[in-house]
Structure 1
């Protein structure tokens, strides 16, 4: 009987937050996100992971504003750079859809196709694709922001 009790305790300890993680949905890579959570000293407070996630929210929102400005200015190089920047930040947290869309913006800004394999010399076509992808990434971001805010609770 003792091993069963031990297994149950271990199972409960090992699954802290697990139901919430499964509720995060398909837009967040749970394994990557769990690595961030493992860095927390206190699983109740989650001070470290919370600060990283809420810092990402600020960073992403500021980057979206810069992307909108660069889109108005038809500045493909800046759009590519901002896409690259936000791709890295979102990848760190496991925000897969956001990362993938930012990578497309990076490629379009470099006058490439969405995979970055073929040249796309038509700058207007690239700008139109960036506009469409930027609209999509903002929706994807809103979804993960809601899920993560629900997971962490209100901002400190």
Structure 2
């Protein structure tokens, strides 16, 4: 009588486990190669650009003046060509308790495209209103609420 010892079964299990192990190894190697292939090829150059120090920018001119009535004027200019100037004053609003801080100013800077940009602005009870050739007209539209600022203040509590 022949008995079946199961030798063939264990050989089959070992070969099946070996194939799974080989497939896992192939997948790991493929993942490593894929990651290495996808990395930025100019990594060293990108790293140098990311950590490149910009040249320092200095304030070359600065003026600040404030009078006892809290009106003020300031102006500055930087070594990179950026400039700003602003004048502010407090004025009486529509009611005796209402005081409005009205500001007029301008600033200029050199954009990333190398062009010089100039902006003039007003900020008062009508909001911030910038003007510049590069600013779309809708950015400076004045709100038309028809409600006094005192009435708005009473609504907000």
| TM superposition score category, shorter chain reference | under 0.3
- Structure with greater strand share of residues: 2
Larger-gyration structure (1/2): 2
TM-score (normalised: structure 1): 0.22
- Structure with greater helix share of residues: 1
Structure with more contact order per residue of length (Cα contacts < 8 Å, sep ≥ 6): 1
TM-score (normalised: structure 2): 0.22
